[in-house]
Chains A and B, each alone.
Chain A
Amino acid sequence: MAQNVFAGRPVLVVEDEAVIAMDLCLTIEEWGGQPVGPAASVREALDLLAQTPDCKAAIVDVNLPDGDIGPVLDRLRERSAAIIVSTGYALPPDVQAKHPHTIVLKKPVSSSKAVEGLASLMAGG
């Protein structure tokens, strides 16, 4: 039932830890979504978003080799995307202030929990 929410829609994955990124991508596939990425950096994530205008869902990490996720969240908000943040820390205060209602899951988190969370956001929105 929940798989219908995705129905082949693109979902951006931003995660620089390869195992976790792969796990997320495969899980999204299993739920019927189309993983975009995984992106391992802010730069790459922004490029992928630019190439995929219809991508309105994302599961993202916060700390990336070239900075924090802030700019990616800004871009996602512009297109009213459903977002799940998965991090070992927390959102930096300034990012948190700009995106107060973002759902943040604390690592370690099971990939199916993250995808499920995203699914309910998409269903709700």
Chain B
Amino acid sequence: MESDQARASPQPGEFMAMVEHLPVLCWMADPEGYIFYYNRKWYEYTGTTPTQMEGWGWQAVHDPDELPLVMERWRRALATGVPFDMTFPLRGADGVLRPFLTRAVPHRAPDGSILHWFGTNTDITELQNAEAKARESARTLQSVIDEVPALVYVKDLTGKLKLANATVFPLLGRVQQETDTIERLHWFSAAQAKSIQDSDRRAIELGQTQEVEEQAGYDQRGPRVLLTRKSPFRDETGRVVGVIGTSIDITERKRAEQARAESEALLRRVLDQLFAFVGLTTLDGVVIAANQAPLLAAGLSPEDVLGKYFWETYWWSYSEETQARIRDAMLAASQGETRRFDVRVRISRGELLAIDFQVAPLRGADGAITHLVPSAVVIEERVKLEQARILLIRELHHRVKNLFAIAVGMVNMSARSAKDVREFAETLVDRLLALARAHELIAPSFDKEADKTDATTTIDRLVETVLEPHIRDPSQVEISGPPLLVGPSSITSLCLILHELATNASKHGALSTPKGRVAIAWETSEDGLLRLTWRERGGPAIIAPLEKKGFGSRLMELSAKGQLGGELRMDWSDRSGLQATLTALPDRLPR
């Protein structure tokens, strides 16, 4: 045990050997600063002798420029007893000044008085080189990242900026590095700050690089947009201690993209709202684009036509002949010739619609044909209108001929029954005018619906119109009945019957005196048969019935039988006035 203890506690000679061989320069001074010992390392480094160094001789190896400060600090330490700590150069045996970190501490007696000063000088050339290198490399790094045309920054886990390149600061304005979080700056909106914090957190929590588009601040035209990569920032142990971000300002690019998208969307909306077709095909006729209206009209989706030959789409599927016609037109267009023609296109439920179709070549800047543009406008209404006009003209033409035929008949008939030319002229003119007025009622309107050429009127209007020239006082006539429709075929017969009855009444019957009255009433029976009664009262007493075989009564009978399919009965039995009853088949009146 004793020998163990002896080995554990070095002998004074061993301490001396250790001090002499320490790899640092060591020395000892008395309380007044007089150095009375240097170790071997000191003499080796400085290449001096104990005689040269003893006491204050050490000043010889100092840099004369630094020495006054060293002396001042050393004297202050001796005066105050505060440990000395300073870095200064010492000249080596080779004449080179090297930086030494020098420390000296007082060795005190139990009463606190200083017995000695122990000092060491440590060569820190390597350390200083390393520091300088580190500073240099940091400076290089900073200048490199400052040159990067992007924002580069490192934030700690709390969001505080630890490092940022020069590009960041114009964006952030007067932010001071490491003093504030980006998000707390007033030129970020709350929503922007939250979004930035969220993406920071995702990078940190997931430990994965995030790529995000984020808004950061505003300019006069709106928010600025950054395209940002955020990666977790790790220390040497791999622990995530923050986030490294690089951002590119894509504000202008985004704005240009948005402006282009908006103008494209606007054009698209305009095209889609047209009820016209606009498409684009390759030179071979394969559909590349089509606006919405013709797709909607045919119940198709874009996929149904895109990539197909235009003539093989649903629109033309109703006829091989039409498909061939479209194909030929597109072939011609691919050779530079615009083709245009009216054709029918198939829309939903197999319906066909008339269109004005055109296919034209589209040329590039160099004049070469690059695409074909098929387009069309719907002309169905125009075609319908044209057809309706033709029908109308035919109908009118026929009606005119028919009226002339009736007029010719009337002339002949009136000529036969008239006593003289004057009476002939009067009765003929009256009959023709009655007819003219009646037909005015059913003149077809040109501005009404196109396919409605069969203009009609109602029976009450017809009765009023025919009677109007024969009455002086409207209270003489009483009309009652439903407003049944009267068509162009039946109107002539009805008009003639009413005209003959009214003519008789104004010559011989109730309308020949102011006190006379005529009641005209009509109704339809359950089976649709029309029954119209003409009842005269208050006229001159009937002496004799109208001549049965007279032209007027014969005309009335035939009219009732012919166009109306009914009959006319004249009852003279009541001497107070005529009662006439007209019947007509249900379907005849509106014809």
Decide yes or no whether A19 CB sits under 8 A from chain B. yes
Q: Using Cβ atoms and an 8 Å threshold, which residues of chain A touch B410?
A: 19
Contact A40 B405 (CB under 8 A): no
Contact A23 B565 (CB under 8 A): no
Contact B554 A16 (CB under 8 A): no
Looking at B85-93, B252-260, B555-563, the stretch in contact with chain A turns out to be B555-563
Instruction: Name A22's contact: one of B492, B493, B555 (CB within 8 Å).
Output: B555
Closest to A110 in B: B408
Q: Using Cβ atoms and an 8 Å threshold, which residues of chain A touch B565?
A: 40-41, 65
0/1 per residue, B383-421, Cβ < 8 Å to A?
A: 000000000000000100110111111101100100000
Q: Using Cβ atoms and an 8 Å threshold, which residues of chain B touch A20?
A: 405-406, 408-409
Contact B401 A23 (CB under 8 A): no
Q: Which of A27-58 contact B (CB under 8 A)?
A: 27, 38, 40-41
Most buried by B among A15, A17, A41: A17
Contact A108 B405 (CB under 8 A): yes
Contact A23 B413 (CB under 8 A): yes
Contact B496 A16 (CB under 8 A): no
Contact B401 A19 (CB under 8 A): no
Closest to B554 in A: A22
Contact B402 A107 (CB under 8 A): yes
* Interface class of chain B by DSSP: helix
Decide yes or no whether B62 CB sits under 8 A from chain A. no
Contact B406 A65 (CB under 8 A): no
Decide yes or no whether B591 CB sits under 8 A from chain A. yes
Closest to A38 in B: B558
Closest to B404 in A: A108
Decide yes or no whether A11 CB sits under 8 A from chain B. no
Contact B413 A108 (CB under 8 A): no
Decide yes or no whether B588 CB sits under 8 A from chain A. yes
Contact A16 B563 (CB under 8 A): yes
In angstroms, Cα B409 to Cα A17, docked, is 10
Contact A88 B402 (CB under 8 A): yes
In angstroms, Cα B413 to Cα A19, docked, is 8
Q: Using Cβ atoms and an 8 Å threshold, which residues of chain B touch A23?
A: 408-409, 412-413
Q: Using Cβ atoms and an 8 Å threshold, which residues of chain A touch B404?
A: 107-108
For chain B, the count of residues having a C-beta within 8 Å of the partner chain is 27
Number of A-B residue pairs at CB separation under 8 A: 80
Instruction: Tell me how far the C-beta of B490 lies from the nearest C-beta in chain A, rounded to whole angstroms.
Output: 10
Decide yes or no whether A21 CB sits under 8 A from chain B. yes
Q: Which of B548-576 contact A (CB under 8 A)?
A: 551, 554-555, 558-559, 561-563, 565
Instruction: Name B402's contact: one of A17, A26, A27, A38 (CB within 8 Å).
Output: A17
Q: Given A17-B402, A65-B563, A108–B416 Cβ distance below 8 Å?
A: no
0/1 per residue, B62-80, Cβ < 8 Å to A?
A: 0000000000000000000
Instruction: Name B561's contact: one of A40, A106, A109, A110 (CB within 8 Å).
Output: A40
Instruction: Name A107's contact: one of B405, B559, B591 (CB within 8 Å).
Output: B405
Q: Given A20-B406, A65-B565, A108-B407, A26–B555 Cβ distance below 8 Å?
A: no
Q: Given A38-B558, A40-B562, A40-B565, A19–B409 Cβ distance below 8 Å?
A: yes
0/1 per residue, A1-28, Cβ < 8 Å to B?
A: 0000000000000011111111100110
In angstroms, Cα B403 to Cα A88, docked, is 10
Closest to B588 in A: A65
Contact A17 B492 (CB under 8 A): yes
0/1 per residue, B464-502, Cβ < 8 Å to A?
A: 000000000000000000000000000011001000000
Contact A15 B562 (CB under 8 A): yes
0/1 per residue, B361-381, Cβ < 8 Å to A?
A: 000000000000000000000
Instruction: Name A26's contact: one of B416, B496, B588 (CB within 8 Å).
Output: B416
In angstroms, Cα B559 to Cα A23, docked, is 13
Q: Using Cβ atoms and an 8 Å threshold, which residues of chain A touch B496?
A: 18-19
Q: Using Cβ atoms and an 8 Å threshold, which residues of chain B touch A27?
A: 412
Q: Using Cβ atoms and an 8 Å threshold, which residues of chain B touch A38?
A: 558, 562
In angstroms, Cα B402 to Cα A21, docked, is 13
Instruction: Tell me how far the C-beta of B106 lies from the nearest C-beta in chain A, rounded to whole angstroms.
Output: 142
Instruction: Name A108's contact: one of B408, B558, B561, B562 (CB within 8 Å).
Output: B408
Q: Given A16-B563, A88-B398, A108-B404, A21–B558 Cβ distance below 8 Å?
A: yes
In angstroms, Cα B408 to Cα A122, docked, is 25
0/1 per residue, A57-100, Cβ < 8 Å to B?
A: 00000000100000000000000000000001100000000000
Instruction: Tell me how far the C-beta of B12 lies from the nearest C-beta in chain A, rounded to whole angstroms.
Output: 150
Q: Using Cβ atoms and an 8 Å threshold, which residues of chain A touch B559?
A: 18-19
Contact A89 B413 (CB under 8 A): no
In angstroms, Cα B559 to Cα A20, docked, is 10
Q: Given A18-B555, A19-B406, A20-B406, A26–B412 Cβ distance below 8 Å?
A: yes
Closest to B560 in A: A18
In angstroms, Cα B563 to Cα A15, docked, is 9
In angstroms, Cα B411 to Cα A23, docked, is 9
Instruction: Tell me how far the C-beta of A85 lies from the nearest C-beta in chain B, rounded to whole angstroms.
Output: 14
Instruction: Name B398's contact: one of A22, A89, A109, A110 (CB within 8 Å).
Output: A89
Contact A40 B563 (CB under 8 A): yes
Most buried by A among B404, B551, B562, B563: B562
Q: Given A22-B558, A41-B565, A108–B492 Cβ distance below 8 Å?
A: no
Q: Using Cβ atoms and an 8 Å threshold, which residues of chain B touch A65?
A: 563, 565, 588, 591
Contact A18 B558 (CB under 8 A): yes
In angstroms, Cα B398 to Cα A26, docked, is 25
In angstroms, Cα B409 to Cα A88, docked, is 14
Contact A88 B561 (CB under 8 A): no
Q: Using Cβ atoms and an 8 Å threshold, which residues of chain B touch A21?
A: 558, 562
0/1 per residue, A103-125, Cβ < 8 Å to B?
A: 00011111100000000000000
A-B contact pairs, 21 of them (CB 8 A): A16-B562, A17-B402, A17-B563, A18-B496, A18-B561, A18-B562, A19-B409, A19-B410, A19-B413, A20-B406, A22-B554, A23-B409, A40-B561, A40-B562, A41-B565, A65-B565, A65-B588, A88-B398, A108-B401, A108-B402, A108-B405
Chain A contact residues, CB within 8 Å of chain B: 15-23, 26-27, 38, 40-41, 65, 88-89, 106-111
Q: Given contact pairs A40-B558, A65-B565, enumerate 16 new A-B contacts (beta carbons under 8 Å).
A: A16-B563, A17-B402, A17-B563, A18-B496, A18-B559, A20-B405, A22-B551, A26-B413, A38-B558, A38-B562, A41-B565, A65-B563, A65-B591, A88-B405, A108-B402, A110-B412
A-B CB proximity, top 8 nearest:
A18-B558, A40-B562, A19-B409, A108-B405, A18-B559, A23-B409, A108-B404, A16-B562
